[in-house]
Amino acid sequence: MLNKTGKIFKALGENNRLRIVNMLMSKPMCVCEITDIIGLSQSTVSGHLRILKEAEIIEDIKEGLWVEYSLMKKDELNKTLFKLVRSLFDNDELLEKERRSALLADRNILCKK
């Protein structure tokens, strides 16, 4: 695979992973919040997060039992990338809705049981 570049684009070239990135633009989220909003199985979501993480698009920190994922904004590259992605995401109804859902998501409620 073509080093870093291919990984980044391949990671973003999938519908559900774009949705995840879009949600993380609202705020950092744990896996159960994302799973709840996106409506895929937990294992599937976990797999997508792994791919995004390996492409260095997102990063994770452990918070006890939870793992919180967030956009990795460290370097200049990612800033450009997210600006681009963000402009592509504008005016998409589903994505707008999911960003709002992300903002409202509360892991203390969603992740119980």
Site residues, DNA (CB under 7 A): 10, 14-17, 30-32, 35, 40-44, 46-51, 60, 62, 64-67, 111-113
Shortest distance in whole angstroms from residue 18 CB to DNA: 10
The two tokens of residue 26 are 């609202």
Contact partner at residue 3 from DNA, a second copy, none, CB < 5 to 8 Å by partner kind:
a second copy
Shortest distance in whole angstroms from residue 13 CB to DNA: 7
Nearer Cβ to a second copy (14/63): 14
Give the C-alpha separation, 89 to 87, whole Å.
Answer: 5
How far, in whole angstroms, is CA 77 from its chain's centroid?
Answer: 17
Nearer Cβ to a second copy (30/48): 48
Q: Provide the 10 A C-beta neighbour count for residue 72.
A: 19
CB-based contacts of 7, cutoff 8 Å, min separation 6? 1, 54, 55, 56
Nearer Cβ to DNA (87/112): 112
Nearer Cβ to a second copy (69/89): 89
Shortest distance in whole angstroms from residue 34 CB to a second copy: 17
Which of 29, 106, 104, 105 is closest to 52 using CA atoms? Answer: 29
Looking up tokens 């963000």 gives 86
